[in-house]
Amino acid sequence: MRILRLPAALAALAIAATACSSDGGDSGGGGEYPRNETLYTTGTAWGPPTSWNPMMRGQYTVGTIGLVYEPLFLFDGETGEYVHWLAESDEWPSENVHEITLREGVTWTDGEPLVADDVVTTLELGKLDGSPYSNVWNYVESVEATDERTVTVTFSENRPQEWMNWAYANPIVPDHIWSELSETDVTDGPNENPVGTGSYVYESHTDDRMVWERNDDWWATEALDLDMDARYIVDIVNASNEVTMGMLNQNEVDLSNNFLPGIDQVLNSNENITSFYDGPPYMKSANTAWLVPNLTREPLDDPDFRQALAHAIDLEQIVEGPYANLVQPASPTGLLPEWDDYIDHELVEDKGFTYSASEAVAILEEAGYLDEDGDGYVETPDGEPISLTLEVPSGWTDWMEAARLIATNAQDVGINIEAQFPDFDLLVDNRNAGEFDLIINNERQLSNTPWTYYDYLFQLPVQEQQSTVNFHRYENEEAWALTEQLAAVPVDDVEGAAEITSQLQEIQLTDLPAIPLWYNGLWAQSTNEYWTNWPSEHEGTPNSPATLWNGWFELGAITTLA
């Protein structure tokens, strides 16, 4: 396994309070927090904080995992290397045994030491119904505390790609608290007094914000020379794009992780507001937006029809229109730029789709989709009319405009698609139950391995409720077997993994079970009035993520704050 040891010099590259900052009160509104010691953020929460339970994925307050609870490793997406975090070292004495040694001197915020039993209990919580990582026990045979700081994990099935995804993406919880909780409290309790090992602790919350206070006893200050200059982090619940833009312009928020229409004009006119790149696309890529067809419905179950639809979509229209070049078109494989080593470029050149209305029409005609009744729209080869809906959440203005463009593109080649905008919760319920024609989805982000991406596309078996993966309900035993083979490739064997991803891309590009659209941006707009040295493309600044989004602390965002 490739391990990256965090250099002490990283502390010098982290965001810093500007020397000219005053000790004025809380200009962010509400609470008395010294402005030059307080980092104001927004763009992560859309409702009041209600849970600090790291087991309630998608519902816990932002920062619960990352600021309070920490994983064994981080993963550096730029270098492709794992970073020892709560783990001080690790080794594989055999291919099905992983031995992890914890750091000495790490304590929970109630004063108890971090011990191997904490890791054992955390893993064993995966056996509970409703655990977000119950699948880990599909290949873990046992976990044992072999001494106070050593954990030995034995695998019934060797899946290092999948296992290391767990090891960096899942936080460790304290055995002396969580082993005493009821099953309901573990999976559904609010955990209102979170006890973690991390750099911040719960300070207070209101309906419109979450306030974290620095943990001055954080282990990484001494062990890794990482200092958190911000005494407080105040994460403000999103109100609207207009409100957020106003707060940025007034220096009332230091970091916004919203998508902000028109931010390109602000970045070009206001030197105090910056993003990662000076020009388009301004932000790094975070995840892939997919056009997801319901493969249980005709004619979406026909690969030829899906190929025609893919060729009909003018991605440049979307990139230059609703996004004003804030995003980039996705590779036909959908793999993010950081996964370029896993893309079979010759195969993409041969089988990848590109925008061509004439090609879309030709594919439809050859497959028997013709406009026999002269209404401007093709019918199925059996003569049945086609009427499809493309749904995205109401209020998601960028996706709404993209959906309209996709519908128009489809209509231009004779495919009758109408864009619709239901409430988010209704869309999710219908998506999970398979009650939809077409949706846009971006549920899988950058990770330590493209296995997570193919797990999203191909996971079997298809359930009655598909809540996290394979919303399209694609059933291909060969693709799923290859995905499971990918999970078993050693984590440092890029060439071996690429051989398998090439075979997966052959299936994906032929069948197009879902259609890659664009790379969603890692939205991060920062002001430099009170805090400086944000991550950017410029030499001498950090290259880590500038976001408080769930799942990104473990990808290095925690070091951005240091």
pLDDT in tens, 308-353: 999 999 999 999 999 999 999 999 999 999 999 999 999 999 999 9
Average pLDDT over the chain, rounded to an integer:
93
The residue with greater pLDDT, 3 or 270, is: 270
106 backbone φψ class: left, alpha, beta (φ>0; ψ -120 to 50): beta
pLDDT of residue 16: 52
Cβ(74)–Cβ(80) below 8 Å: no
Element (H, E) at 323: none
Question: Is residue 212's pLDDT more than 60?
Answer: yes
Half-sphere exposure in the Cβ direction for 198 (13 Å, CA): 27
Question: Is residue 549's pLDDT more than 80?
Answer: yes
The residue with greater pLDDT, 267 or 3, is: 267
Residue 293 pLDDT class (50, 70, 90 cuts): very high
pLDDT of residue 254: 97
Cβ(228)–Cβ(199) below 8 Å: yes
Cβ(526)–Cβ(274) below 8 Å: yes
DSSP strand pairing (38-42 vs 97-102)? unpaired
Q: Does residue 545 have a cis bond before it (omega within 30 degrees)?
A: no
Q: Give the separation between CA 454 and CA 380, rounded to whole angstroms.
A: 30
Burial 431-463 (b: 16+ CB within 10 A, else e): bbebebbbbbbbebbbbbbbbbbbbbbbbbebe
Question: Is residue 64's pLDDT more than 50?
Answer: yes
What predicted TM-score, i.e. pTM, was given to this entire model? 0.89
What's the average model confidence in pLDDT over 499-523?
97
Residue closest to 126 by CA, chosen among 111, 143, 114, 113: 143
pLDDT of residue 24: 39
pLDDT of residue 21: 36
Q: Give the separation between CA 214 and CA 532, rounded to whole angstroms.
A: 19
Residue 3 pLDDT class (50, 70, 90 cuts): very low
Task: Compute CA distances 460 → 454, 471, 477, whole Å.
Answer: 11, 11, 8
Question: Is residue 559's pLDDT more than 60?
Answer: yes
Question: Is residue 107's pLDDT more than 70?
Answer: yes
Q: Measure the N-to-C terminal CA separation of the chain; round to a whole number of Å.
A: 26
Cβ(41)–Cβ(257) below 8 Å: yes
Question: Is residue 298's pLDDT more than 80?
Answer: yes
What's the average model confidence in pLDDT over 393-415?
95
Q: Give the separation between CA 24 and CA 115, rounded to whole angstroms.
A: 42
Radius of gyration of the chain (CA): 24
Can you read off the two tokens belonging to residue 13? 């590259």
Residue 172 pLDDT class (50, 70, 90 cuts): very high
CB atoms within 10 A of CB 286: 23
pLDDT of residue 396: 86
For 539, list phi and psi in degrees, rounded to 5: -60, 140
What is the identity of the amino acid at 161? Q
Residue 58 pLDDT class (50, 70, 90 cuts): confident
Q: How many helices (H) and strands (E) does the chain have?
A: 18, 22
Q: Alpha helix (H) ranges present in 199-257?
A: 219-223, 241-249
pLDDT of residue 83: 97
pLDDT of residue 31: 53
